[in-house]
Structures are given as structure tokens and as C-alpha cells.
Amino acid sequence: MGYKIFTHEIHSSYAARIDNFRSYDSISKDIIQRWTYPLVPDVQFSINNATKLERHGIYRASNITQSRSSQVGPFTYIGKDTFIGNNTIISNSVVGDGCKIGSNVAIDGCYIWNNVTIQDGCKLRHAILCDGVVMKSGAVLEPGVVLSYKVVVGQEFVVPSYSKVSLLPQPVKQDSDEELEYADSNSGIIETTNTLENGDSTNDCVVSEIGKNGRGFIWSMSEVDHEEEWRHSVAPIPDSKLIELTQAVYDDLEALIQDDSFLPLSDVRESDTETDDDNRDESQYFEKEVEATFLRGVNENVKDDHIILEVNSLRLSYNMALENCASALFYSMMKLALDVSRNTGKDLVKSTNDVISQWGKLLKPYLNGIDDEIEVILKFEEMCLESGKEFAILFVQILHVLYDKDIIQEEAILNWARLKKSRLNEGGVEVKKNMVGC
């Protein structure tokens, strides 16, 4: 009897698979940033838990108690019946239901499940806390930490980066996959958990590993596993690894170009219709990826060099030119300026000036000539006619901002104006009316 595999190809919907903590983090961010709509927190499929979406991607469930002095940053979800104490800062994180978070706590990039208690003065960065975890006052979680169910971290204890902590001691002997799959559910796991929860354990290593009055075991990793742990963690990729990976991509591309058997893309012949459609889809996906990278850099205070490295990686992955990077980044900046201020034209010009002043330097590596600068102006014109019509009446003022900030040169503006006169069409009338004085 033969085997058959039935598939359904998805052309537009969102689909992804979670197979490690990094993919868990990426997909969770997509949900919070609404790439998975309508599968987002505020779209309710039941009436049990109403969630409201606020500005800057903040989601709040019902019955939340939050101190006025606390701060909830962008792209954060707060579950129902959760308490947040004084001067606590939470950003880019997911907090589950029934959590109790004390005062002067700092949480960034974490996934906190249900009924977690975090006492005063704790600091958490890019960690996962399962149900029922307790962090005593002053405890610290370094990036990449995972705390399993009902683990207790002792007072002022620092859990090292990439640590995995569980109530279950690490097995001395590594069982085979079949033994793990068919192991008896009562083979010591429940007994160990109950013993630790009742405080009957006298094992000294528990105290030394998790701190005073802590409960749990740190699972050790081999030197090789620890070296590769960053690949599968919710923590950001270390700077050294990011530079190393980017350099490797450049080296591979250089070797491919020098290979005699390499066939340039321009020599590949396909039907005009299919090529145009594929290029359009690739361009749209590329712009979305660049926008997500830029917003993540803004919200997480990522260094400019690291944003440029990520954009360069996307450029190589999607086989895009430098002007495509400049256009996509510029679009992301202008969209950010539009989101910040939608009141008056004066406010919009000011917000644009602020965004370009802070982030305009990201465009420099991709503007190597007048033609690249013209592509930026054309992208701005496209925005004015489509998604960013608020900019249309401010077209000349925004051009002056770009000129004053040394993003585009006078020659680029003049060449663009000549191009518009020679290729004037109905779609460019509205913007052309606002060109007077350029």
C-alpha cells in the first residue's frame, strides 16, 4: 500500500511553526504586532476575557491593577487580574493572567505565564517564566533564562544567561527518545515536585543553585550545547555572533559570484507575467521585513550598526539593490512620523524632522549617488498618493527637511522635477501641485 501526502498551499494567510524558543519569540512578536490578524489578542472568539488594544501596540485585559507610577511600554500584553506595583517598567513583554508584580521591577522582552509572582526590585531581560514561578526580591534573570513550572528563585540571586531551571533534577543518564516517550508518568517526576513544594528536600545543591530559599535545579549543558544555545533562545543574537553571521553571508556571496558556474539572475529567462508578480511579492515582503526590523530597533533601542547589519542580511536574502533598502527604510521612518503625530501639518513636519534627525543616518550606507536619492523622493511621492496622503500638502516642506538633514541633494531634487515634467501623468497631479517652490 502506497503512502500519500495531502497538502494545501497557502498564498496569503499567515502560517508558521514553533520548534524552539527563538521561533516562539518571533511568532509571538508577529501576533503582538498584528501580522497574524485576525488572530490577535483583541479579536475575541469568546466573551470570557475582553482585551483592549491601546496606542503603541499595548494590550490590556480586564481587572488589571496598575500603579500610576508604573510604565507599560510598546508591544506589551497584560493579562487579566494582574497587579503591577510602583515604579515598575514593562516593555516588549507578555504578562499572563493573575500575576503579581512588585515595585521597582524592570521587565524587558519576557514571556511571563499565568500566576507568576515577581517581588520588589527584580530585573528580567528576555526570559521565559512558566506558570506559578516565584522570584523573590532583588532576583535577576539574565537573557535567555527559562524557568519551569513553580520554580522559586532566591532573594537577590542572579540566574546566569541561557540557564534552564526545573523542579525536576537533571537525569544522570541520557535516555533514548523511545524511553522518554513511553516513560511512566509516575516515574519520579510528581514525587520530586511534591517533595520540593513541601519543603522536605535537604539537598544542599538546590540552595546553592537557586539561592537562599530557592527551589529548583539548574540543568547543565555541554560546552558545545552552551556555545550554540543562542541560536534557540528568546534572547537577542549576541553582537559578536551577528557580525560573524553577516560576514559569513558576504563571504558565501563573494565565493558564489567568483564561481564560473554562477549564472546571474539577469540571464534567467522566465515569462514576463510570472516574473513581475514574483518581484512584486518579493518587494512587498522585503519592505515589511525592513519595517519590522526598523520598528524593533526603535522600540528596543538597538544600535544603528546592528540595524544596518540586519537590513543588509535581508537585502542579500531577498536579492535587493541598495536603493530598495533606502526606499524601505525611508518608508518605515515616514510611517513612524505619521503614527506619532496625526493632528496638524505643523506637528507632522516636526515629527518628521525628529525622526529623520534621529534615524536618518541609517539611510547613508544605501545612498551612494543621485539616482538612489531620486528613488527616495519617488518613494515619498508614492506614499503621498497612497498610504500617507497626509504628507501630500506638506510635500515641499518635507523635501526641505530631507535637504537640510543631508539626506538628499539639490541635484537629486532638480533631476526628479525634470523627470516628473517629462513623465507627467494623472496620478502625479496632486503632488505636482505642491511642488511649487521646490
Domains and CATH numbers, the chain: 21-228 (2.160.10.10), 321-433 (1.25.40)
Q: What pLDDT, on a 0 to 100 scale, did the predictor assign at position 212?
A: 86
With 0-12 / 13-18 / 19 or more C-beta atoms within 10 angstroms meaning exposed / middle / buried, residue 9 is: exposed
> For 387-428, how does the pLDDT look when each residue is reduced to its tens digit (9 = 90+)?
666 777 888 888 888 888 888 888 888 888 888 777 665 444
The beta-carbon contacts of 122-125 under 8 Å, at least 24 apart in sequence, are 125/235
Q: Which residues pair with 134 in a beta bridge?
A: 117, 152
Please state at what angle helix 304-318 crosses helix 272-299, rounded to 10 degrees. 160
420 and 432 in contact (C-beta within 8 Å)?
A: yes
Residue 205 reports pLDDT greater than 80: no
**What letter does residue 237 receive in the DSSP assignment?**
P
pLDDT at 301 over 50: yes
Band of residue 166 on the pLDDT scale cut at 50, 70, 90: very high
| The residue to which cell 546553592 is assigned | 208
With contact defined as beta carbons under 8 Å apart, do 394 and 429 qualify?
no
Burial (0-12, 13-18, 19+ Cβ within 10 Å), 66: middle
Cell, residue 24: 516562539
Is the overall model pTM greater than 0.85, yes or no?
no
- The residue behind cell 510635500 is 395
User: Residues 86, 69: contact at Cβ < 8 Å?
Assistant: yes
Distances (CA, A) of 173 to 170, 179, 206: 9, 12, 19
